[in-house]
Amino acid sequence: IRVGWELLLTTIARTINEIETQILTRDA
Amino acid sequence: MPVFHTKTIESILEPVAQQISHLVIMHEEGEVDGKAIPDLTAPVAAVQAAVSNLVRVGKETVQTTEDAIMRRDMPPAFIKVENACTKLVQAALMLKADPYSVQARDYLIDGSRGILSGTSDLLLTFDEAEVRKIIRVCKGILEYLTVAEVVESMEDLITYTKNLGPGMTKMAKMIDERQQELTHQEHRVMLVNSMNTVKELLPVLISGMTKMAKMIDERQQELTHQEHRVMLVNSMNTVKELLPVLISGLCVLFCGHG
């Protein structure tokens, strides 16, 4: 479970960063 | 049936959705009962920083966009993501004090689901704005198609087709890109078919207009007022056939949004 939660939170952080990039790209 | 209606959204959210679903099932089936959850302060801090950046960039976008619907729909999504993040922060604090905390585990699940839901709302809001851009181009074409009514000479027709061409090309490109993005096969097929119909009908329209303009240009005296009217009506009917086809094609774009 340690790997599970850490992995999920890491994926969430990466996903949010990716969405931020998407917003910046589309906005530009 | 795909959960996400565009490939971009699917590629971004699918990994998170799968992991959350997996962890929720593990918890619901009691596979992790009685096991300690370790300190998650560091990964939660990374999520918090990412959320903070996302909301900042998103708010800047809301301030600058001309799209009123986006301005209205984005702030609730920010609030959802921020609230979910707060739950994750609380969970991390609780786990530091008690690695067996049941409430912290629930907060982790709620927070993760909230992030998924909020980011999904955010991406949908953006996607809908992209669709509105396509619709604006299509509406421009529709409006210009009605100008066909006043084209009566070859000179007018040349100007008309010259003006129509770039818009049509732009619309075809946007719709082609859109259909490639859609995950639902039936939506894709409907959109492609609608666009193909437009592509097939357009030369018919131009050809009809050419015939009419030629006849008028040649000053065919035998052309009675009644015949002239019939030709004009036929030409306009072709234009009118295009309109519902285009509109139904565009409606397909929204199908994935429920």
DSSP-assigned states of every residue in B164-219: HHHHHHHHHHHHHHHHHHB--HHHHHHHHHHHHHHHHHHHHHHHHHHHHHHHHHTT
**Measuring CA to CA, which residue among B92, B3, B97, B75 is closest to residue B41?**
B92
Three-state SS at B6: strand
- pLDDT of B248 over the 70 cut: no
**Measuring CA to CA, which residue among B84, B88, B89, B91 is closest to residue B114?**
B84
Binned at pLDDT 50, 70 and 90, residue B242 comes out as low
Closest-CA residue in chain A for B44? A9
Q: Of B97-111, B204-218, B233-247, which has the strongest mean pLDDT? A: B97-111
pLDDT in tens, B102-148: 899 999 999 999 999 999 999 999 999 988 998 888 888 888 888 88
Selecting from B12, B20, B88 the residue whose C-beta is nearest the C-beta of A19 gives B12
Q: Which residues of B touch A7 (CB under 8 A)?
A: 19
Q: What percent of chain B has pLDDT above 90? A: 47
- pLDDT of B9 over the 70 cut: yes
Binned at pLDDT 50, 70 and 90, residue B235 comes out as low
Amino acid letter at B186? E
Q: Is B16 on the interface with A (CB under 8 A)?
A: yes
Q: Is B24 on the interface with A (CB under 8 A)?
A: no
Integer Cα distance of B80 and B87 in angstroms: 11
Selecting from A1, A13, A27 the residue whose C-beta is nearest the C-beta of B46 gives A13
Integer Cα distance of B217 and B166 in angstroms: 26
Q: Is B158 within 8 Å of B220 (Cβ atoms)?
A: no
- pLDDT of B28 over the 60 cut: yes
What pLDDT, on a 0 to 100 scale, did the predictor assign at position B221?
Answer: 53
- pLDDT of B51 over the 90 cut: yes
Q: Is B23 on the interface with A (CB under 8 A)?
A: yes
Selecting from B26, B51, B58 the residue whose C-beta is nearest the C-beta of A23 gives B58
Residue with tokens 């409430």: B103
The Cα-based distances of B150 to B46, B140, B142 in angstroms read 62, 17, 15
Q: Of B52-56, B214-218, B231-235, B253-257, which has the strongest mean pLDDT? A: B52-56
Q: Phi and psi dihedrals of B6, rounded to 5? A: -125, 155
pLDDT in tens, B177-205: 999 999 989 888 988 888 888 888 888 88
Q: Phi and psi dihedrals of B3, rounded to 5? A: -75, -40
Q: Which residues of A touch B22 (CB under 8 A)?
A: 4
Question: How close A25 comes to chain B (CA, Å)?
Answer: 11
The Cα-based distances of B9 to B114, B124, B248, B254 in angstroms read 16, 8, 24, 15
Q: CA end-to-end span of chain B, whole Å?
A: 14
What pLDDT, on a 0 to 100 scale, did the predictor assign at position B154?
Answer: 87
Task: Give me the half-sphere count of Cα atoms (radius 13 Å) on the Cβ side of residue B69.
Answer: 10
Selecting from B8, B108, B122 the residue whose C-beta is nearest the C-beta of A5 gives B108
What pLDDT, on a 0 to 100 scale, did the predictor assign at position B78?
Answer: 95
Q: Residue B182 forms beta bridges with which residues?
A: B6
Q: Is B150 within 8 Å of B57 (Cβ atoms)?
A: no
Q: Phi and psi dihedrals of B182, rounded to 5? A: -70, 140
